[in-house]
Structure 1
Amino acid sequence: MLKDQLILRIPGPTPIPPSVNRALLQPMVGHRDRQVSERIKKLIPRLRPLFGTEKNDVLIVAGSGTSGLEAAAVNLTQEGEEVLVLVTGAFGDRFRKILEAYRLTVHAVETEWGEPVDPEQVKKALNSHPGVKVVFATHSETSTGVLNPIDQIAHVVHEHSDALIAVDGVSSIGGAEMRMDEWKIDLVVTGSQKALMLPPGLAFLAVSEKAWTKISNNPRPRFYLDLLKYKKSLGEDTVPFTPAVSHLFALDQSLSLIEEEGLQETLKRHLLMMKMTRAGIRAMGVPLLVAEERYSSPTVTAVIPDDFTPGAFRTVMSKEFNIVFASGQGHLKDRIFRIGHMGYCSPTDVLQYLGAMELALQKVGHEVTLGAGVAAAQEVYKR
């Protein structure tokens, strides 16, 4: 196999389009240069459609997606306040750990990993804990491939409490539908290295007016992640601290690619890749972690083999085909493997990795008819 070929099919970081790579190579400029301010001014309204908002501020933070989650926690809460976190996997659990670190009274709704949150569970939790001030939820749970029904969850939150709702959209924004305004979400976080087709290093936060009211009246100390600083700087078309300048150049180009395709077409492509992947894997006789397609993330699929070791299979895929899948996380680390199909990924790529998977499955002793998975995916594509 080609030594310098790497076909990255993990749920982040994801492959970067050539034109975005070229944008990263633009000459460096001063971070307070006028052209950086002009770029930021133009980027914000182009980011809003990804979040499904026409009016809310979108902030750009130089940091990982986790920095955005921590910013949500430290800005929306006061020490000792009651919060509710919805845990459906490793990243929901990370949200919980962030909240606990800030000395909050944390209540949790937990599901078996691979299962979505039932809105009725949220309703019961809110009725049991009427003092909850913020509900923290994960949209696409990257560790399991679950897509939680955020629209239904938000409806329950607004119907049964006055709590704010903050959403981890790190592996969903740009790949799954988010209607922030319509669903009345108060804060949404995402990161650069997933469906947005950028290197790691940027977090984006969309913030509602209701959330700003809470943030503005919050006496909790914070500095780098003080969103009020970012809001003030946004009015001056800048950011409060040194931005990742090259990432802004790249963001400009990645948004152009999404706009050229059309956001709705981009979302349809992700759904198609998810359906092709699931159909192909089922046709190979390998179980999927998320049983119901309606709760399956359009950006990542988790597979839970019952007759071979995920690690051995991933090794064959990597060594023989240069295709990299991800392992599981937490207690699923050695039980599943995960396939990322987001951002710079197309149905052609799905057919490629499904074809290689059939050969790799035979190598690890799983009986599969060559062509069965690819054919099933092709049928989905045809429909």
Structure 2
Amino acid sequence: MSDGTIDDAATAFAPPMLGEPYLLTPGPLTTAAAVKQAMLRDWGSWDGDFRALTAELRRRLLALIDDRDGAFDCVPMQGSGTACVEAMLGTLVPREGKVLVLANGAYGLRAAQILRYLGRAHTLIDKGDYLPPRGEEVAAALDADPAITHVLVIHCETSSGILNPVQEISEAVYARGRKLLVDSMSAFGAVPADVNALRYEALVSSANKCIEGVPGFGFVIARKSELEAAQRNCHSLSLDLHDQWKVMEKTGQWRFTPPTHVVAAFIEALHLHEAEGGVAGRGARYANNRNVLVAGMRAAGFETLLAERWLSPIIVTFFCPADPNFSFPRFYDLMKAKGFLIYPGKLTAVESFRVGCIGHFDAHVMRAVVEAACRSLEEMGVASAAPAPHVLGERARLVA
């Protein structure tokens, strides 16, 4: 990968407000001042002005998938991203359905956990930390089990940073007459999800990811036919996607108290997203952030968990240095003191940490991150950022 795919001068970003660190996480993340300022007004949740905000939110999100035929609708839901994943699964998967969950990290495994709580039949392909599920594996699993009705894939698995090959998975699913559900929590808005190029029944994401809003709600973009067929499927009153949709269609209102300030902030974030060039523009900046980060960290001796082809523009996982003087809690504190919040690893087998590439910043910030990481190692007395040789050997064995 090369630096400079975007003109840095053209994408200069103001630093966070005084005293705020950069959030180098997969969300919540660093937001623009205009997004924060949009939360300074109070809104009446039943008022026409707020209903107009909700309608604009739904319309703008549908535009991001290029729904030319009007086959889809957007249903925002209060709560965390996980709550919205549960709403999608609990509403759109019939109680007699069965889900093939494709996992290669914490979020696929969490989806399987949700299905256990829901009492929905499911099976799992677990690829571990290093590799994505592939189309041929999905095809074989579907051929072996006719009871499977739905497949769930994580668009970008942020516990490792893998961008999964959703297109080939979709082709395998629909060639066998099944339905695809996409957890695009950390990808939507920066990675294309055009329904004219990628087939799926529903996609779920959140306000505080690549659109660069703040936490408080998520949304499910689903085929209207799937929403219509989902009446009385849901296990939960508050997470009933079908009921939320019907009420919004009839009244323009949320069924229960909406996160009014968060919605207002999200509308501003959508305006900024459009001004940047939409999905293509946002994705290009994030990819450039990743390129600068990875090149700098590798030059400093760090090594990425993933092989080059699977690195996403969302977040990058690095092996922890093998040097006995390295301690992640100490490294975290030193990075925080320099103005950067990073993420601990979520891997099952090796020590790692993660650096997000998404949020309201550009490559200038990523260069400062690399410099801060190098200075932090010096302060810790770490002579080398390299991981243990057996860690690299295990990765080479698994990806061969």
TM (norm. structure 1) is 0.89
1:117 to 101, 124, 133: 133
Give the Cα separation in 2 of the matches to 1:19 and 1:75. Answer: 35
Give the Cα separation in 2 of the matches to 1:349 and 1:70. Answer: 35
**Is 1:47 aligned to residue 64 of structure 2?**
no
2:148 to 127, 132, 141: 132
Q: What is the match of residue 212 of structure 2?
A: 197
- Write the letter of the residue equivalent to 2:264: F
The CA deviation at 1:164 is: 1.4
- Write the letter of the residue equivalent to 2:315: V
- Write the letter of the residue equivalent to 1:209: K
How has the CA–CA distance of structure 1 residues 3 and 29 changed in structure 2, closer, same or farther, with 3 Å as cutoff? closer
Q: What is the match of residue 372 of structure 1?
A: none
2:303 to 284, 287, 290: 287
Residues 144-293 of structure 1: pairs in structure 2 closer than 5 A: 144-160=160-176, 162-216=177-231, 219-235=233-249, 236-263=251-278, 264-293=280-309
Q: What is the match of residue 297 of structure 1?
A: 312
**Is 1:316 aligned to residue 324 of structure 2?**
no
Q: What is the match of residue 357 of structure 2?
A: 341
Indicate the SS of the match to 1:180.
coil
- Write the letter of the residue equivalent to 2:256: F
Gaps of 5+ in 2: 1-16, 386-400
Instruction: Please list the CA deviations of residues 283-331 of structure 1 after superposition, one character each: whole Å capped at 9, or x if unmatched.
Output: 22211011123x2221111111342443332232123x13111001253
Cα pair 2:213 2:266 within 8 Å, conserved:
yes
Give the Cα separation in 2 of the matches to 1:152 and 1:366. Answer: 43
Indicate the SS of the match to 2:150.
strand
Give the Cα separation in 2 of the matches to 1:135 and 1:197. Answer: 28
Give the Cα separation in 2 of the matches to 1:84 and 1:21. Answer: 39
The CA deviation at 1:221 is: 4.3
Q: What is the match of residue 63 of structure 1?
A: 79
Cα pair 1:186 1:210 within 8 Å, conserved:
no
4+ runs deviating over 4 angstroms: 218-221
Instruction: Please list the CA deviations of residues 78-127 of structure 1 after superposition, one character each: whole Å capped at 9, or x if unmatched.
Output: 33532100011001110110011111221111112131112211111111
Give the Cα separation in 2 of the matches to 1:357 and 1:13. Answer: 21
The CA deviation at 1:238 is: 2.1
How has the CA–CA distance of structure 1 residues 5 and 222 changed in structure 2, closer, same or farther, with 3 Å as cutoff? closer
Give the Cα separation in 2 of the matches to 1:196 and 1:188. Answer: 15
Identical pairs, percent: 25
Instruction: Please list the CA deviations of residues 235-256 of structure 1 after superposition, one character each: whole Å capped at 9, or x if unmatched.
Output: 2322222211111111111011
The CA deviation at 1:155 is: 0.8
- Write the letter of the residue equivalent to 1:312: R
Aligned residues: 361
Give the Cα separation in 1 of the matches to 2:375 and 2:111. Answer: 38
Give the Cα separation in 1 of the matches to 2:243 and 2:206. Answer: 20
Give the Cα separation in 1 of the matches to 2:109 and 2:203. Answer: 17
The CA deviation at 1:335 is: 0.7
How has the CA–CA distance of structure 1 residues 53 and 301 changed in structure 2, closer, same or farther, with 3 Å as cutoff? farther
Cα pair 2:90 2:233 within 8 Å, conserved:
no
How has the CA–CA distance of structure 1 residues 3 and 274 changed in structure 2, closer, same or farther, with 3 Å as cutoff? closer
Instruction: Please list the CA deviations of residues 331-365 of structure 1 after superposition, one character each: whole Å capped at 9, or x if unmatched.
Output: 36x71111111131211111111121122233341
Give the Cα separation in 2 of the matches to 1:239 and 1:181. Answer: 29
Q: What is the match of residue 348 of structure 2?
A: 331
Cα pair 2:212 2:269 within 8 Å, conserved:
yes
How has the CA–CA distance of structure 1 residues 339 and 51 changed in structure 2, closer, same or farther, with 3 Å as cutoff? farther
For structure 1, which segment, 172-181 or 238-247, has the greater mean C-alpha deviation from structure 2 after superposition? 172-181
Give the Cα separation in 2 of the matches to 1:344 and 1:34. Answer: 31
- Write the letter of the residue equivalent to 2:48: R
2:366 to 350, 361, 382: 350
Give the Cα separation in 1 of the matches to 2:150 and 2:383. Answer: 47
- Write the letter of the residue equivalent to 1:314: Y
The CA deviation at 1:268 is: 1.0
- Write the letter of the residue equivalent to 2:155: H
CA RMSD in angstroms comes to 2.0
**Is 1:33 aligned to residue 51 of structure 2?**
no
TM (norm. structure 2) is 0.85
Cα pair 1:307 1:366 within 8 Å, conserved:
no
The CA deviation at 1:50 is: 3.2
How has the CA–CA distance of structure 1 residues 147 and 222 changed in structure 2, closer, same or farther, with 3 Å as cutoff? same
- Write the letter of the residue equivalent to 2:186: S
